[in-house]
Amino acid sequence: MSVSRRALLGAAAGAAAVTAAGARLEAAEPPQATGLSPITSGVAPISPEEHLARLAKLQGLMQRLRIAAFLVEAGSTLEYFTGVRWWRSERTTAALVPAEGRVVVVTPFFEEPSIRETLRIPGDLRPWKEDESPFELLAGALRERAAAKGTLAVEATTRYFLLDEVRKASGGGREIVPGDALVRACRMIKSPAELALLQTANSVTIAALRYVHGRIEVGMRNADIVSLMVAAHTALGGTHEFGLVLLNEASAYPHGSIKPQSVREGSLILVDTGCSVHGYQSDISRSWVAGKPSPRQRELWDTVKRGQELALETAKIGAPVGAIDKAVRSFYEQKGWSKDYGLPGLSHRTGHGIGMDVHEPPYLVRSDATALEAGMCFSDEPGLYIPGEFGIRLEDCWYMTESGPKTFTPLAKSMEQPI
């Protein structure tokens, strides 16, 4: 589980750390993770050939569905198909993918050299200067590359103003449909190269957690622990993406509290963190106690651990992903925890898809009927939370194979050996 999005340009990790409330803690001299060295140096990014294959699949789907063009702005989906790694701002960078022919990428004139650095497919770059309209360029590409009345599919996270301006510039009259089905059909099943990058990202994060776990001391603030996590991720060769450190009562709130938190004897410590490697994400959570756990803390930890195991045991090829959430929730309810995502209990889904985004479809929520297929990747994080007291979350990521689920990292052994 995470709250922050991936930093598309890989801003210097350690310059800022994300606190439990989502704010950034500035650190002029971030801590150094001594004794760690990169484990990502031999890992290859996605090749231009794989980007071309992805684009060919997208265009083939478009042709079968009679979609004339696909509009997508900067973000993970643009990077997935073209390699272009950029962030969103008021200055539009977007692409128009026709059902046949070359992609058109529109970007500010002064950003064109940077965009070319990550473009991995043959494409037409059409830069716009500050007093010009990027929407006119996109509308022009639409007129050139798509039939006059052809359907335009739009990537789900593309901002409304961009679509609205393109529609105005193109004169309207064109059917516009969601592009979700196109993107899901391409991105949900991970290739061997993607699985290798996800494995490396998770290996980095579990090593970072192991390093941090042994260095937490009474009196440390949650922000101190986040800073140490940033340093460890960086030293190991990953790009730190998010870090939640929830202490004591704050651990009962899945995404934290703004109240000051520090470690004391008997503190429940919940760390949820992840990094990226060549754009692919990790997401791991561990919970433990500073000192000796109470019987109540241990019982809750053991229940969550069994829920995490049950999620993996339920994962079968062809089964709806929602069945995993139902199985865990039924087990918890039999133990006396609240029903229907209530509290105290499991108030969030059992997990989520993961890849270039930390949260991707499909989702391990009981209403999701998507059938499990080999190559799908998920988190497994069935926590339990008692408001006003504490919460436990254990999270590892896994991928589906024809013979069953396989985790990227070993599950936690016990409260004393959480990593």
Cβ-Cβ contacts under 8 Å for 48 (sequence gap 6 or more): 83, 120, 121
Last residue of a domain, one of 172, 187, 202: 187
Inter-residue contact 108 to 93 (CB < 8 Å): yes
Indicate whether 99 and 144 sit together in one domain.
yes
List pLDDT tens digits, range 357-408.
Answer: 999 999 999 999 999 999 999 999 999 999 999 999 999 999 999 999 999 9
Computed over every residue of the chain, the mean pLDDT equals 93
Cβ-Cβ contacts under 8 Å for 209 (sequence gap 6 or more): 229, 271, 273, 284, 286, 419
- The enclosing domain of 100 has a CATH number of 3.40.350.10
List pLDDT tens digits, range 12-70.
Answer: 233 333 333 333 333 346 688 899 999 999 999 999 999 999 999 999 999 999 999 99
DSSP one-letter code for 402: T
Nearest 5°: CA angle at 326, between 342 and 305?
Answer: 80
Q: Which two tokens stand for residue 67?
A: 């979609």
Q: Which two tokens stand for residue 408?
A: 């990227």
Residue 339's pLDDT band, with cuts at 50, 70 and 90, is very high
- What's the pLDDT score for residue 14? 33
Cβ-Cβ contacts under 8 Å for 309 (sequence gap 6 or more): 411
Indicate whether 135 and 221 sit together in one domain.
no
pLDDT exceeds cutoff 80 at 206: yes
List pLDDT tens digits, range 67-77.
Answer: 999 999 999 99
| Length, in residues, of the chain | 419
Residue 1 resides in a domain:
no
- What is the number of domains present in the chain? 2
Residue 362 φ then ψ, to 5°: -80, 170
Indicate whether 403 and 267 sit together in one domain.
yes
Indicate whether 89 and 166 sit together in one domain.
yes
| Best CA proximity match to 91, nearest among 49, 142, 134 | 134
Instruction: Report which residue type is found at 159.
Output: R
Residue 32 resides in a domain:
yes
Indicate whether 152 and 239 sit together in one domain.
no
Q: Which two tokens stand for residue 361?
A: 């479809």
Indicate whether 134 and 31 sit together in one domain.
no
Residue 2's pLDDT band, with cuts at 50, 70 and 90, is low
Radius of gyration of the chain (CA): 23
Of all helices (H) and strands (E), which one includes residue 399? strand 396-401
- What's the pLDDT score for residue 256? 85
pLDDT exceeds cutoff 50 at 4: no
Indicate whether 123 and 79 sit together in one domain.
yes
pLDDT exceeds cutoff 60 at 169: yes
- What's the pLDDT score for residue 173? 85
Residue 219 resides in a domain:
yes
- What's the pLDDT score for residue 148? 77
Last residue of a domain, one of 160, 187, 214: 187
- What's the pLDDT score for residue 29? 67
State percent of the chain over pLDDT 90. 89
Indicate whether 128 and 265 sit together in one domain.
no
Torsion over CA of 275, 278, 281 and 285, rounded to 10 degrees?
-30
Beta strands in 220-356 (DSSP E): 239-247, 268-277, 280-281, 284-289, 351-353
- What's the pLDDT score for residue 11? 29
Inter-residue contact 77 to 84 (CB < 8 Å): no
- What's the pLDDT score for residue 174? 92
Distances (CA, A) of 174 to 62, 136, 143, 168, 170: 16, 16, 11, 11, 9
Strand partners, 395: 285
Last residue of a domain, one of 165, 187, 209: 187
Give residue for tokens 């938190």.
261
Indicate whether 222 and 360 sit together in one domain.
yes
- What's the pLDDT score for residue 106? 98
- What's the pLDDT score for residue 283? 98
Residue 304 φ then ψ, to 5°: -65, -40
**Cα–Cα distance measured from residue 104 to residue 135, given in angstroms and rounded to the nearest whole number:** 12
Residue 415 resides in a domain:
no
Indicate whether 81 and 213 sit together in one domain.
no
Indicate whether 70 and 149 sit together in one domain.
yes
**Cα–Cα distance measured from residue 72 to residue 419, given in angstroms and rounded to the nearest whole number:** 40
The domain in which residue 310 lies consists of: 16-41+190-407
Average pLDDT value for residue range 330-356? 98
Residue 147's pLDDT band, with cuts at 50, 70 and 90, is confident
- What's the pLDDT score for residue 25? 35
Peptide bond into 362 cis (omega under 30): yes
Residue 317 resides in a domain:
yes
| Best CA proximity match to 292, nearest among 323, 276, 268, 321 | 268
| Best CA proximity match to 325, nearest among 364, 370, 275 | 364
Residue 2 resides in a domain:
no
Helix axis angle for 180-187 and 48-64, nearest 10°, is: 140
**Cα–Cα distance measured from residue 18 to residue 252, given in angstroms and rounded to the nearest whole number:** 19
Q: Which two tokens stand for residue 259?
A: 């109240």
Indicate whether 313 and 384 sit together in one domain.
yes
